[in-house]
């Protein structure tokens, strides 16, 4: 029996992973699309005149099961994929794209929505209802409702092509990541590497019946090698492989996919009356226009570039003095930065890692959530999971009421894409006076436990966990009426505020004392290490800021102009990087062909958001610091005005309600050490 067709009759209505067979998906999607179309027809064909309830709300609540099955399927395609799932994704993505167009290009439905929109001032709607109406109306006008039949048909073709191209782009990056291995058998080849990294590489080799050590392009394998391996030739070899994903003129080459995606996005925006894809996207962002984004990035560039150049010069000098390196290359960056950091602060990840056992860090994040927002996390084993490594939790408030389910998936696997992200298996909403609580998940790629050691995190992995957990809290504490305005359904350049602000707690003595305990002795992290973590927080901040700016500018270069004249991906990229380059270029490497954030994920014309949200998070955390980082009043304001309100209002209005003022960039520049 296909368990996906109807609402789940499971505990907490949790996704019944163990009962889902892959072959269910294609038939389920077709069936649920049919069901949802029937719901839409009912809205269109009612004899009642259009009202907010029978049109806007009815549309909002239509296709609930289709949404749930979509979230399950596409999350599996990211976290636990297979060739079978990828094949199904290629089959159903065009169907979903076509179905989405069937709704936004349905003239009779649009007429009903427009009728309600035109009389909105007489309807006495609350703020959330106003936002929903505005969003529904724009979902038609911004997606072709006013186009001629011929143009509507072209829009459908573009959307179908884009859906498949984005999937293909992601599949190619994953295939390139999985297909590369660097097999080393000489002990001298792993000189400099920490014992934990060696042990992990040895275990990986053994799992594939090989002698010696195996290194891959997955972050927990790649980063320690780049940071610590003293063999420069091998660092070069691994770095070249990492940076040439999708750029090797083989079956997984993404160059034509990049060009096609950029051109189709541009054509689509023109069709809809926008100058470029960036103009289309940014209309619904805090930044509003491509000009504002480019000005914002260039203003930051002015402050960061002199600092970055100075840091780079010092790093070059350091490498020259230490090892006689005449030209600092990209594969030297992490290695000599780590050496310089150790010299300057007597601090390196290997000293810190024993204090960051994964289980302790998870408990630390939970304790922060308890102290700030009154949340309790209890591990449960009564609900299904899609992989045995996934941890599952019941989240309750101080009255014992269910707030959310929480899934956490921490280690790299072959079927899992790289990086870290937060997602949802069920949105929060209120329907028929029942508050449906959300099911939230975070997915990371951390260092696995070995035979002799538990999973010990680098400090960077600690901040990554807190970052994703910040996104999770945005989902967990959602408390809105409508699912499409709930949780992280906010303007894309606002979505990083909850995640980035939570990273700040990792640098505070008060927080570290809660969870940074030596995994063998239980000793709390010494205060001298805490001081060094704080001191080193701005180490190479100029270079890091420059890198983020370079990626933001690369994104805008693809999307804020007509890309039809771009013939060569690499040539275009070099031009985009002109103002931000520090290292010599490597002709065999390309960023765009594996830049999944903008060519597969949702960050096209939005990569600047990370820096934009840093302005918000630095300003917001300064407010906490003024009153105490666990101050209940400030935490309640953050929960009430930011975390629980989702996308129900303009984000700047919500931010000002929390903070009492607009954010000031000075807090970010001070924190980064770029101004005094």
Q: Which residues are catalytic?
A: 468
Instruction: Judge whether 397 and 24 are in contact, CB under 8 Å.
Output: no
Instruction: Judge whether 89 and 72 are in contact, CB under 8 Å.
Output: no
Spatial CA neighbour of 331 closest among 179, 227, 192: 227
Residue 348: other Cβ atoms inside 10 A:
19
Structure tokens at 107: 């003239």
Q: Is 301 left (phi over 0), alpha (psi -120 to 50) or beta?
A: alpha
The percent of the chain in helix, strand and coil, each rounded to the nearest 5, is 60, 5, 35
Task: Decide the pairing of beta strands 402-409 and 439-443.
Answer: parallel
CA 291 → CA 162, 277, 285, 294, 567, distances in Å?
A: 26, 13, 13, 5, 24
Which DSSP string corresponds to 221-285?
HHHHHHHH---HHHHHHHHHHHTTTT-SSSTT--HHHHHHHHHHHHHHHHHTT-SSHHHHHHTTS
3-class secondary structure per residue, 432-470: CCEEECCEEEEECCCCCCCCCCCCECCHHHHHHHHHHHH
Instruction: Judge whether 668 and 615 are in contact, CB under 8 Å.
Output: yes
Q: How many residues does the chain have?
A: 676
Which DSSP string corresponds to 516-539?
-B-TTT-PBPPHHHHHHHHHGGGT
Distance between CA atoms of 527 and 510, rounded to whole angstroms? Answer: 11
Structure tokens at 242: 């990492």
The rounded radius of gyration (Å) of the Cα atoms in the chain is 25
Distance between CA atoms of 647 and 131, rounded to whole angstroms? Answer: 8
Distance between CA atoms of 405 and 268, rounded to whole angstroms? Answer: 38
CA 273 → CA 56, 268, 287, 571, distances in Å?
A: 25, 9, 19, 29
Q: Which spans in 180-231 are helix H?
A: 195-207, 219-228
Instruction: Judge whether 426 and 13 are in contact, CB under 8 Å.
Output: yes
Spatial CA neighbour of 489 closest among 475, 501, 477: 475
Helices 290-323, 330-345: crossing angle, 10 deg rounding: 70
DSSP 357: B
Distance between CA atoms of 593 and 284, rounded to whole angstroms? Answer: 27
For tokens 């951390």, name the residue: 446
Sign of the CA dihedral 277, 279, 285, 287? positive
Task: Decide the pairing of beta strands 182-184 and 213-215.
Answer: antiparallel
Non-local (6+) Cβ contacts of 448 within 8 A are: 200, 220, 411, 412, 455
């Amino acid at each position: 029996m296909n368990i996906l067709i109807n609402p789940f009759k499971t505990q907490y209505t949790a996704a019944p992973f163990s009962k889902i067979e892959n072959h269910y998906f294609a038939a389920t999607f077709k069936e649920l699309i049919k069901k949802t179309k029937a719901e839409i027809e009912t809205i269109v064909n009612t004899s009642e005149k259009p009202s907010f309830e029978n049109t806007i709300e009815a549309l909002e609540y239509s296709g609930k099961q289709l949404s749930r099955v979509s979230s399950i399927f596409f999350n599996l395609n990211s976290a636990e994929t297979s060739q079978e799932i990828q094949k199904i994704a290629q089959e159903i993505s065009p169907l979903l794209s076509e179905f989405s167009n069937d709704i936004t290009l349905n003239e009779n439905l649009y007429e009903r929505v427009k009728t309600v929109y035109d009389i909105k001032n007489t309807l006495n709607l609350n703020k959330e209802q106003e936002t929903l109406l505005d969003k529904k109306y724009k979902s038609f006008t911004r997606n072709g409702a006013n186009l001629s039949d011929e143009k509507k048909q072209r829009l459908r073709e573009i959307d179908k092509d884009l859906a498949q191209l984005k999937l293909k782009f992601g599949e190619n990056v994953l295939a390139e990541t999985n297909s590369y291995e660097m097999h080393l058998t000489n002990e001298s080849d792993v000189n400099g590497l920490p014992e934990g990294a060696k042990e992990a590489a040895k275990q990986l080799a053994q799992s594939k019946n090989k002698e010696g050590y195996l290194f891959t392009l997955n972050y927990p394998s790649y980063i320690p090698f780049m940071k610590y391996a003293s063999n420069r030739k091998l660092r070069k070899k691994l770095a070249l492989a990492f940076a040439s994903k999708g750029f090797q003129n083989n079956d997984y080459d993404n160059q034509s996919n990049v060009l096609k995606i950029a051109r189709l996005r541009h054509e689509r925006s023109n069709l809809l009356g926008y100058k470029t894809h960036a103009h289309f996207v940014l209309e619904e962002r805090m930044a509003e226009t491509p000009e504002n984004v480019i000005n914002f990035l260039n203003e930051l560039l002015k402050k960061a570039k002199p600092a970055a150049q100075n840091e780079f010069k010092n790093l070059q000098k350091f490498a020259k003095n230490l090892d006689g390196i005449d030209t600092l290359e990209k594969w030297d960056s992490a290695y000599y930065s780590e050496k310089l950091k150790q010299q300057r602060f007597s601090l390196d990840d290997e000293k810190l890692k024993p204090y960051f056992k994964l289980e302790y860090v998870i408990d630390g994040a939970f304790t922060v959530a308890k102290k700030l927002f009154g949340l309790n996390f209890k591990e449960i084993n009564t609900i299904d999971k899609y992989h045995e490594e996934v941890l599952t939790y019941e989240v309750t408030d101080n009255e014992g009421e269910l707030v959310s389910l929480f899934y956490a998936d921490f280690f790299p696997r072959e079927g899992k894409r790289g990086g870290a992200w937060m997602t949802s298996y069920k949105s929060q909403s209120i329907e028929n006076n029942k508050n449906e609580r959300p099911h939230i998940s975070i997915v990371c790629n951390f260092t696995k436990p070995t035979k002799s050691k538990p999973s010990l995190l680098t400090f960077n992995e600690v901040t990554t966990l807190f970052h994703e957990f910040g996104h999770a809290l945005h989902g967990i504490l959602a408390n809105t009426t409508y699912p499409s305005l709930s949780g992280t359904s906010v303007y894309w350049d606002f979505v990083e505020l909850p995640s980035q602000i939570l990273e700040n707690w990792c640098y505070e003595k008060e927080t570290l004392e809660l969870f940074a305990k030596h995994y063998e002795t239980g000793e709390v992290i010494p205060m001298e290490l805490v001081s060094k973590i704080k001191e080193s927080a701005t180490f190479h901040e100029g270079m890091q800021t420059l890198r983020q700016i370079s990626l933001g500018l690369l994104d805008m270069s693809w999307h804020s102009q007509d890309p039809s004249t771009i013939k060569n991906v690499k040539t275009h990229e070099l031009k985009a990087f002109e103002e931000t380059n520090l290292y010599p270029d490597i002709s065999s490497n390309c960023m765009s062909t594996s830049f999944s954030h903008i060519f597969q994920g949702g960050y096209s014309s939005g990569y600047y958001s990370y820096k934009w949200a840093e302005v918000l998070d630095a300003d917001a955390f300064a407010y906490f610091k003024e009153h105490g980082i666990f101050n209940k009043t400030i935490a309640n304001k953050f929960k009430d005005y930011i975390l629980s309100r989702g996308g129900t209002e303009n984000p700047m209005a919500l931010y000002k309600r929390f903070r009492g003022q607009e954010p000031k960039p000075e807090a970010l520049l001070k924190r980064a050490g770029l101004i005094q």
